[in-house]
Amino acid sequence: MSLNCDVRSLQPYYAQCGEIKNRRATYAEMVNAVLCEVRLGKLVVCALYGHPGVFACVGHLSIKQARLEGYDASMLPGISAEACLWADLGIDPGNSGHQSFEATQFMIYHHVPDPTTHLLLWQ
């Protein structure tokens, strides 16, 4: 069994060994790669790890650009990194709740965590 021959990896757009590259440039290149296939008239699926809309701008940006260009585009939910974390750690956040912050925002805005719940800091 192998991947479909039409699969295109977005991995090469990330900075390669020793290369310094702006993340925004990487994401723009990925969006362009997705849209190039759409513009060729192909039916395109952009499969991303975790949930495609959580801490993942490529899905959002690709959909926005596709719609601006008149193409139908939608996002379907996926298994999130957060869901995997609960499963891997064997924790049920329903028992005590949880807090979730982007790490930089957490520091900039001096959020005070509730020590009685789980705290997720995303980077």
Statement to judge: residues 87 and 51 lie in one domain: no
Statement to judge: residues 60 and 19 lie in one domain: yes
In-domain check, residue 62 = yes
Statement to judge: residues 64 and 89 lie in one domain: no
In-domain check, residue 2 = no
Boundary-marking domain end, from 47, 68, 89:
68
Residues 6+ apart with CB under 8 A from 19: none
In-domain check, residue 3 = no
pLDDT in tens, the chain (123 residues): 788 888 999 999 999 999 999 999 999 999 999 999 999 999 999 998 878 888 889 999 999 999 999 999 999 988 888 988 999 999 999 999 999 999 999 999 999 999 999 999 998
* Of 8, 39, 49, 67, catalytic: 49
- Domain with 57 in it: 11-68
Residue 49 bears catalytic tag: yes
Residue 8 bears catalytic tag: no
In-domain check, residue 5 = no
* Of 8, 23, 39, 67, catalytic: 23
Place of tokens 């891997």: 88
**What is the model's pLDDT at position 51?**
82
The letter for the amino acid at 74 is: S
CB-CB contact of 56 with 62 (8 Å):
no
Question: Closest Cα partner for 60 from 74, 72, 71?
Answer: 74
